[in-house]
């Protein structure tokens, strides 16, 4: 009698050990399949059970998720069974497992050979149908998530305390499985939100770069625009003033662009603008600041450049433009540009931004004189041009 009580005591200790192992399974960083495998490991290690399996509810059927028991060497190890066979699926109310799913109550098949409720696992190694079987619903918050099955080859094997223990184990497993799914759903949401946020930030950065580029770039020619020219021209001017370096400015205007647009359309005019922009890019040096300021007007700011250097570059630009071939509707068109030039004068009492505007105005007077004198010309600014021409029109 004492030995019987001792056996019962040690069985209870083993049961508590199985619960303890189950409680120590981590919820993070482990898949649901591995969680179930470790649950069976905890159960098999401390219980005298020959076969165990866990079926999870998928839609309206139970599908085998993991099973294990004795291998050919007598060792207890869980293993993932082959899935997809017809014998591994149970619907609500079908067999002992289906009844456990339907009722939410533990089902005990005392002798599987004589119990009409038993449906064997056809063509599987999980359980052949000999002995006894318990199906315990895996429940969390009154929701049945699956069924835990344990079997033994002896009929009438399971005692009342074992049934209570297996129900407790199944309920504990149900709560653990529910929490694991919540944690993983949260991790998936966090990962998805993080990825979506990263994509949004990346898209925002692309849009910011795109709009910033558009804010400083002329879309037709790809050159800098007016805003960028005056923003970058000021520090270039400041360096020239500080170190006493020469600085030159050219305003370059396409001759008779309006006539070209009127006769051949704006597409021909745009082609002329782009070809001339390409020519200016080829002639400009590293460190020069080239921009398109208006429809037909370009600006070229040249640091470390004396008047002779301006004159020489202006001549090269006009020669290169004259060699351009433009044939709208297969009719040749001759292109030319007029160029107004000026150089930096020492005026220490004027602000840099105003000094840059002054250089721009001076080059504008010289350019206007070129237009009046017949176009395809280049001219340096001289003070006497201003009274003769009057105020320049606003851009």
3-state secondary structure 12-35: HHHHHHHHHHHHCCCCCCCCHHHH
What is the reported pLDDT for 347?
Answer: 62
pTM: 0.52
Angle at 350 between CA 344 and CA 352, to 5 degrees: 65
Q: Which of 353, 350, 387, 351 is nearest to 368 (CA)?
A: 387
Range of weakest confidence among 275-279, 296-300, 329-333, 377-381: 329-333
For a pLDDT cut of 90, what percent of the chain falls above it? Answer: 35
Range of weakest confidence among 26-35, 138-147, 297-306, 307-316: 26-35
What is the reported pLDDT for 187?
Answer: 74
Higher pLDDT, 95 or 278: 278
pLDDT tens per residue across span 335-348: 999 999 999 976 66
Label residue 64 by pLDDT band (50, 70, 90): confident
- Strand partners for 138: 146
Label residue 214 by pLDDT band (50, 70, 90): low
What is the reported pLDDT for 354?
Answer: 86
Label residue 203 by pLDDT band (50, 70, 90): confident
Label residue 75 by pLDDT band (50, 70, 90): very low
What is the reported pLDDT for 68?
Answer: 67
Task: Delineate the domains of the chain, giving CATH numbers in brackets.
Answer: 2-188 (3.30.450.40), 226-389 (3.30.70.270)
Q: Which of 29, 97, 110 is nearest to 67 (CA)?
A: 97
Q: Is the pLDDT of residue 83 over 50?
A: no
Backbone angles phi, psi at 352, to 5 degrees: -60, -45
Higher pLDDT, 109 or 84: 109
Higher pLDDT, 56 or 21: 56
Higher pLDDT, 142 or 276: 276
Q: Where are the beta strands (DSSP E) in the chain?
A: 51-58, 61-70, 76-79, 89-91, 107-109, 132-140, 143-152, 247-254, 289-292, 297-303, 337-343, 378-380
What is the reported pLDDT for 70?
Answer: 43
pLDDT tens per residue across span 262-309: 888 999 999 999 999 999 999 999 999 999 999 999 999 999 999 999
When pLDDT is averaged across residues 250-272 and rounded to a whole number, the result is 92
What is the reported pLDDT for 279?
Answer: 96
Backbone angles phi, psi at 288, to 5 degrees: -75, 155
What is the reported pLDDT for 197?
Answer: 84
Q: Is the pLDDT of residue 101 over 80?
A: yes
Using CA atoms, how far residue 250 sits from 221, 301, 302, 310, in Å, is 18, 6, 8, 8
Label residue 71 by pLDDT band (50, 70, 90): very low
Cβ atoms of 281 and 223 within 8 Å: the answer is yes
Torsion angle of C-alpha atoms 163, 166, 167, 170, degrees rounded to 10? -160
Tokens 């001792």, located at residue: 6
Tokens 């064997």, located at residue: 120
Label residue 97 by pLDDT band (50, 70, 90): confident
Label residue 390 by pLDDT band (50, 70, 90): low
CA distance 329 to 263: 11
Q: Is the pLDDT of residue 127 over 80?
A: no
What is the reported pLDDT for 185?
Answer: 82
Cβ atoms of 147 and 97 within 8 Å: the answer is yes
Cβ atoms of 124 and 87 within 8 Å: the answer is yes
Using CA atoms, how far residue 242 sits from 245, 248, 303, 352, in Å, is 8, 15, 13, 11
Q: Is the pLDDT of residue 69 over 70?
A: no
Label residue 16 by pLDDT band (50, 70, 90): low
């Amino acid at each position: 009698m004492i030995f019987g009580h001792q056996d019962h005591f040690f069985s209870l200790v083993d049961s508590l050990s199985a619960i303890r192992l189950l409680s120590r399974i981590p919820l993070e960083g482990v898949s649901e399949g591995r969680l179930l495998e470790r649950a069976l490991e905890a159960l098999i290690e401390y219980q005298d059970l020959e076969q165990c399996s866990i079926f999870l509810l998928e839609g309206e059927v139970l599908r085998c998720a993991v099973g294990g028991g004795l291998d050919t060497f007598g060792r207890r190890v869980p293993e993932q069974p082959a899935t997809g066979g017809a014998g591994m699926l149970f619907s609500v109310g079908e067999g002992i497992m289906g009844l456990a799913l339907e009722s939410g109550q533990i089902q005990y098949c005392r002798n599987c050979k004589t119990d009409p409720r038993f449906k064997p696992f056809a063509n599987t190694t999980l359980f052949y149908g000999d002995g006894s079987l318990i199906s315990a619903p895996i429940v969390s918050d009154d929701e049945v998530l699956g069924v835990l099955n344990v079997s033994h080859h002896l009929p009438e094997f399971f005692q009342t305390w074992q049934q209570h223990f297996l129900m407790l184990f199944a309920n504990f497993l149900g709560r653990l499985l529910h929490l694991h799914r919540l944690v993983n759903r949260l991790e998936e949401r966090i990962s998805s939100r993080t990825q979506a946020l990263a994509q949004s930030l990346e898209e925002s950065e692309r849009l910011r770069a795109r709009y910033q580029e558009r804010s400083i770039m002329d879309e037709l020619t790809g050159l800098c625009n007016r805003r960028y020219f005056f923003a970058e021209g000021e520090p270039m001017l400041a360096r020239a003033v500080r170190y006493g370096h020469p600085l030159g400015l050219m305003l370059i205007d396409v001759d008779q662009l309006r006539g070209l647009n009127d006769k051949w359309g704006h597409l021909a005019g745009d082609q002329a603008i782009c070809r001339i922009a390409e020519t200016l890019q080829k002639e400009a040096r590293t460190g020069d600041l080239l921009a398109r300021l208006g429809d037909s007007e370009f600006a070229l700011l040249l640091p470390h450049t004396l008047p002779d250097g301006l004159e020489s570059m202006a001549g090269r630009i006009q020669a290169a433009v004259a060699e351009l071939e433009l044939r709208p509707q297969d009719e040749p068109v001759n292109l030319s540009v007029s160029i107004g030039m000026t150089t930096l004068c020492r005026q220490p009492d004027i602000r840099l931004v105003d000094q840059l505007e002054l250089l721009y105005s001076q080059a504008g007077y010289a350019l206007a004189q070129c237009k009046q004198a017949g176009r395809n010309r280049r001219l340096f600014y001289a003070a006497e041009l201003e009274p003769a021409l009057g105020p320049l029109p606003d851009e």
